[in-house]
Amino acid sequence: MKTKFATLAAIALTMVSCTTTKKMNQQSTDDKTMASNDITNSTWQLVRLEGDTIDQSNHDGEKVRFILNASGQTVTGYSGCNFFSGTYSLQSGNRIEFSQIASTRMACPDAEINEQGVLEVFNLADNYTLNGDQLMLNVGKRAPLAVFRKMPVRDQIVEKYWKLKTLEGQDIQMAENQEREVYFTLKTDENRVQGFAGCNTLSGEYQLEEGNRIRFSKMATTMRACPDVEFNESKFLKVFELADNYTINGDTLSLNVGRRAPLAVFEAVYF
């Protein structure tokens, strides 16, 4: 009888242990998912570095910032002179680790921000703190290495080189005899659009509104003929005529009409 009770007790203990382990694993997964939803696929702009306030309000063009792309767990950003990229991993307890950080190699002797200091943040950081729209990257329990603020959606799509990835659901590959890849950029200067449509350069104007609304107007192209280029330029230009809203997810931008499938999908390219 004692043996029977001992066996039942062991089975019960094993069941409780398995249930507890599953709950702990599920909690860990939930924690990482919540963390990912909170900080990924947003653009984080630098506001403090090693305790010093960084004012980028008067900087034209690129700001010092980074994006954690949930797809592929990659990090991309701009460090003040060069663009950088790498990978990251998130763990429960607000743990974060960056690896394989690589940077372009431009020389900017007049740069106002300590670029090496920015890059060192990603080498040292092992945890983060999220407070509203502010993200702090830390090492241990010391004062934050750097503080970043989530950029408004509008600021995440302007002044970027958006390379065409898909058009009406079809993947786009650059033709061998094509002059350059199809892309567009939204310039903050007078709300101008500029880009390349496969054969001709394009230009026009845009207007951003609340609710991720976008309007293109006065779109025009040069008048070159490229009979040997296998790309439907008119179909691409139609996107700007039809699009009335956009969706941005990290370094991916979709131009849409209503709630239908995207007219075109673009990927941010950093040089």
- Tokens describing residue 250: 């990290």
Mark out the alpha helices in the chain (DSSP H runs): 2-39, 115-124, 153-157, 233-242
Model confidence at 174, pLDDT cuts 50, 70, 90, reads confident
Model confidence at 201, pLDDT cuts 50, 70, 90, reads very high
Mean pLDDT of 177-200: 93
d(CA 71, CA 82): 23
Q: What pLDDT score was predicted for residue 190?
A: 92
Q: What pLDDT score was predicted for residue 177?
A: 77
d(CA 238, CA 236): 5
C-alpha distance across the termini of the chain, in Å = 76
Amino acid code (one letter) for 174: M
Q: What pLDDT score was predicted for residue 150?
A: 94
Q: What pLDDT score was predicted for residue 157?
A: 93
**Residues 8-40: pLDDT tens digits?**
455 555 555 555 545 445 544 444 444 456 899
Cα dihedral value 13, 19, 22, 24, nearest 10: -80
Mark out the alpha helices in 40-137 (DSSP H runs): 115-124
Mean pLDDT of 206-216: 95
C-alpha angle 264-268-269 in degrees, rounded to nearest 5? 125
Q: What pLDDT score was predicted for residue 253?
A: 96
Query: What are the phi and psi torsion angles at 50 (to 5°)?
Result: 50, 40
DSSP summary character for residue 253: E
Q: What pLDDT score was predicted for residue 65?
A: 93
Mean pLDDT of 193-213: 95
d(CA 92, CA 42): 20
Mean pLDDT of 75-80: 94
